[in-house]
Amino acid sequence: MPTYTTQCESCGATAPLRLSFVNYESVKLGVKTLECGTCLGKVALMFNPGDVSFVLADGESGGFQSKAMKENTYRAKRRVEMARRTREHIAPRPLIPNYEGQQTENWREAQESARKDGKDVSSYNPLIRREGSTP
């Protein structure tokens, strides 16, 4: 609870007073009156923001500090995850020219090897065409 400073309207005595926000509102609106501890006169709240210092208590989900840590941890994980997704969304590298897993100079060479083995070589044609268009 924040601590406020009160001042008696009759004798001018000041005193610190801890008030919840609800009580503070009541006092400020005049719904609730405070008595001077010295003369039982009416006391008023002094405006003194320097005295309004408080720490928000940790709730079930933690306080602000732990929330900030959770947020930072979440964001760090998110960054790693997003970087991974970005990497995986990059178009896969084009097929390396090969025949039966053996790397060849180009697809034409691979097709020649396949032809020598008496295989159907038509599937190499689109690869050779694409190879021709990108020097």
Q: 8 or 114: whose CB is closer to Zn ion? A: 8
What is the nearest approach in angstroms of Zn ion to the Cβ of residue 58?
38
What is the nearest approach in angstroms of Zn ion to the Cβ of residue 63?
38
The amino acid that residue 16 corresponds to is P
- CB contact set of 22 (below 8 Å; sequence gap of 6+): none
What is the nearest approach in angstroms of Zn ion to the Cβ of residue 28?
19
Give the phi and the psi of residue 65 in degrees, each rounded to 5: -65, -45
Q: Is 109 helix (H, G, I), strand (E, B) or coil?
A: helix
What is the nearest approach in angstroms of Zn ion to the Cβ of residue 45?
14
Q: Which two tokens stand for residue 16?
A: 């610190």
Q: 33 or 72: whose CB is closer to Zn ion? A: 33
User: Which residues make beta-bridge pairs with 3?
Assistant: 18
Q: 2 or 41: whose CB is closer to Zn ion? A: 41
* Rounded Cα distance, 94 and 115, in Å: 23
Contact residues toward Zn ion (CB under 5 A) are 8, 10-11, 13, 36, 38-39, 41
Q: 40 or 76: whose CB is closer to Zn ion? A: 40
